[in-house]
Chain A
Amino acid sequence: MQPIESFETPRPPKVNYINAQYGLKSWLLTKDHKRIALLYLGSITFFFFIGGIYAMMIRLELLTPQGDLLQSTTYNKVFTQHGIIMIFFFLIPSIPATLGNFLIPMMIGAKDLAFPRINLLSWYVYLLGGIVTIYALLAGGVDTGWTFYTPFSTTFSNSYVVAAGLGIFINGFSSILTGLNFIVTIHTMRAPGMTWFRMPLFIWAHYATSLIMILGTPVIAITILLLAFERVARVGIFDPALGGDPILFQHLFWFYSHPAVYIMILPSMGVISELIANFSRKNIFGYSFVAFSSLAIAVFGFLVWGHHLFVTSQSVYAGMIFSFLSFAVAIPSAIKVFNWTATLYKSSISYDTPMLYALGFIGLFTVGGMTGLFLASLAVDVHLSDTYFVVAHFHYIMVGGALMGYLGGLHYWWPKITGRMYPEGWGRFSALVIFVGFNLTFLPQFVAGYLGMPRRYHAYPPEFQVFNVLSTAGASILGFGMLIPAIYFVWSMRYGKHAEANPWHLPGLEWRTQSPPPTENFEVTPIVTWDAYEFAPREETEVIGKFGPELEHI
Chain B
Amino acid sequence: MQGWIPLVPDSASTFSWKVDALYFYLSGVTLFFALLISVVLIFFVIRYRRRTPYEIPRPIAGSHKLETLWTIIPFIIAMTMFGWGARIYFEQYKPPQNAMEIYVVAKQWMWKLQHATGQREINELHVPVGRKIKLIMTTEDVIHDFFIPAFRTKADVVPGKYTTLWFEATKPGTYHLFCAEYCGMNHSGMTGSVVVMEPRDFDNWLSGNTGSTTPAAAGQQLFQTLGCASCHGANGEGGRGPTLAGLFGRQTPLEGGQSIRADEAYIRESIINPQAKIVAGFGPIMPTFQGQVTEDQLVQLVAFIKSLPGGTTTGTPNASASPAPTPAPSPSASGSPTRNIK
List A residues at the B interface (Cβ < 8 Å): 4-5, 67, 72-73, 76, 143, 145, 147, 149, 151-152, 155-158, 231, 234, 239-241, 243, 245-247, 280-283, 285-289, 310-313, 316, 319-320, 323-324, 327-328, 330-331, 334-335, 337-339, 341-342, 344-351, 359, 362-363, 366-367, 370-371, 373-374, 376-383, 385-387, 447, 450-452, 454-461, 463, 505, 534-536, 538, 540-544, 547-552
A409 and B33 CA atoms in complex are apart in Å by 26
A346 contacts B60, CB within 8 Å? yes
A26 and B40 CA atoms in complex are apart in Å by 50
Nearest A residue to B291 via CB reads: A241
Which B residues, 140 to 164, have Cβ-Cβ distances below 8 Å to chain A? Answer: 141-143, 145, 147, 149-150, 152-156, 158-161, 163
B23 contacts A450, CB within 8 Å? yes
B58 contacts A542, CB within 8 Å? yes
Nearest A residue to B186 via CB reads: A72
B86 contacts A454, CB within 8 Å? no
A346 contacts B58, CB within 8 Å? yes
B161 CB contacts on chain A under 8 angstroms = 240, 313
Query: Top 9 closest A-B pairs, CB basis?
Result: A240-B160, A452-B149, A379-B88, A378-B89, A377-B85, A547-B63, A457-B188, A370-B30, A344-B44
B37 interfacial by beta-carbon distance below 8 Å: yes
Shortest distance between the CB of A507 and any CB in chain B (Å): 10
Query: Is chain B's binding surface mostly helix, strand, loop or mixed?
Result: mixed
Number of A-B contacts (CB under 8 A): 329
A461 and B89 CA atoms in complex are apart in Å by 28
Shortest distance between the CB of B161 and any CB in chain A (Å): 7
A280 and B59 CA atoms in complex are apart in Å by 11
A379 contacts B22, CB within 8 Å? yes
Tell whether A149 pairs with B60 under 8 Å between CB atoms, given A341-B37, A359-B45. no
Tell whether A156 pairs with B145 under 8 Å between CB atoms, given A311-B154, A451-B2. no
A286 and B69 CA atoms in complex are apart in Å by 13
A547 CB contacts on chain B under 8 angstroms = 63, 65-66
Tell whether A463 pairs with B2 under 8 Å between CB atoms, given A383-B149, A387-B180, A452-B147. yes
A348 and B153 CA atoms in complex are apart in Å by 50
Tell whether A363 pairs with B41 under 8 Å between CB atoms, given A311-B154, A386-B145, A458-B187. yes
B26 contacts A380, CB within 8 Å? yes
Shortest distance between the CB of A442 and any CB in chain B (Å): 14
Nearest A residue to B141 via CB reads: A156
Identify which of B18, B23, B70, B188 contacts A374 (C-beta below 8 A). Answer: B23
B74 interfacial by beta-carbon distance below 8 Å: yes
B90 CB contacts on chain A under 8 angstroms = 316
B86 CB contacts on chain A under 8 angstroms = 319-320, 323, 378-379
Nearest A residue to B32 via CB reads: A370
B8 interfacial by beta-carbon distance below 8 Å: yes
Nearest A residue to B160 via CB reads: A240
A459 CB contacts on chain B under 8 angstroms = 188-189
Provide a sorted-by-A list of 21 A–B residue pairs whose CB atoms are within 8 angstroms: A67-B188, A157-B342, A281-B56, A285-B62, A313-B156, A334-B70, A345-B44, A366-B34, A370-B33, A373-B30, A379-B85, A380-B19, A381-B85, A387-B180, A452-B149, A461-B191, A463-B2, A536-B56, A540-B59, A541-B59, A542-B61
Which B residues, 162 to 181, have Cβ-Cβ distances below 8 Å to chain A? Answer: 163, 176, 178-181
Nearest A residue to B187 via CB reads: A456
Nearest B residue to A332 via CB reads: B71
B182 CB contacts on chain A under 8 angstroms = 76, 145, 147, 149, 152, 386, 455-456
Tell whether A342 pairs with B66 under 8 Å between CB atoms, given A316-B90, A387-B180, A454-B147. yes
Tell whether A550 pairs with B61 under 8 Å between CB atoms, given A156-B339, A451-B9, A454-B180. yes
A289 contacts B67, CB within 8 Å? yes
Interface 9-mer from B46-54, B206-214, B229-237, B312-320: B46-54
Identify which of B26, B74, B142, B188 contacts A458 (C-beta below 8 A). Answer: B188
A367 and B8 CA atoms in complex are apart in Å by 19
Which of B75, B90, B185 has the most chain A CB within a 10 Å cutoff?
B185
A92 and B74 CA atoms in complex are apart in Å by 29
B93 interfacial by beta-carbon distance below 8 Å: yes
A480 and B71 CA atoms in complex are apart in Å by 39
B293 interfacial by beta-carbon distance below 8 Å: no
B57 contacts A347, CB within 8 Å? yes
Tell whether A536 pairs with B78 under 8 Å between CB atoms, given A341-B37, A363-B34. no
Shortest distance between the CB of A359 and any CB in chain B (Å): 6
A338 contacts B1, CB within 8 Å? no
B8 contacts A451, CB within 8 Å? yes
B184 interfacial by beta-carbon distance below 8 Å: yes
A327 contacts B79, CB within 8 Å? yes
Nearest A residue to B276 via CB reads: A243
Known: A338-B66, A348-B55, A460-B188. 8 other contacts (CB 8 A): A143-B185, A149-B181, A344-B41, A348-B48, A451-B2, A452-B150, A536-B59, A550-B61
A363 CB contacts on chain B under 8 angstroms = 34, 37-38, 41
Which of B154, B189, B191 has the most chain A CB within a 10 Å cutoff?
B154
B108 interfacial by beta-carbon distance below 8 Å: yes
B187 CB contacts on chain A under 8 angstroms = 72, 76, 456-458
A5 and B55 CA atoms in complex are apart in Å by 10
B341 interfacial by beta-carbon distance below 8 Å: yes
A344 and B340 CA atoms in complex are apart in Å by 61
A349 contacts B45, CB within 8 Å? yes
A157 contacts B184, CB within 8 Å? yes
A331 contacts B71, CB within 8 Å? yes
A379 and B71 CA atoms in complex are apart in Å by 25
A247 and B51 CA atoms in complex are apart in Å by 59
B18 CB contacts on chain A under 8 angstroms = 379
A380 CB contacts on chain B under 8 angstroms = 19, 22-23, 26, 85
B183 interfacial by beta-carbon distance below 8 Å: yes
A152 contacts B184, CB within 8 Å? yes
Identify which of B55, B70, B78 contacts A327 (C-beta below 8 A). Answer: B78
Identify which of A239, A319, A335 contacts B89 (C-beta below 8 A). Answer: A319
B4 interfacial by beta-carbon distance below 8 Å: no
Nearest A residue to B6 via CB reads: A447
A455 and B37 CA atoms in complex are apart in Å by 30
A311 CB contacts on chain B under 8 angstroms = 145, 154-156
Which B residues, 66 to 84, have Cβ-Cβ distances below 8 Å to chain A? Answer: 66-67, 70-71, 74-75, 78-79, 81-82, 84
A347 contacts B44, CB within 8 Å? yes
A327 contacts B92, CB within 8 Å? no
B29 interfacial by beta-carbon distance below 8 Å: yes
A551 CB contacts on chain B under 8 angstroms = 61-62
Identify which of A351, A362, A383 contacts B37 (C-beta below 8 A). Answer: A362
Tell whether A245 pairs with B160 under 8 Å between CB atoms, given A348-B55, A378-B89. yes
A372 and B325 CA atoms in complex are apart in Å by 55
A73 and B59 CA atoms in complex are apart in Å by 58
B49 CB contacts on chain A under 8 angstroms = 348-351
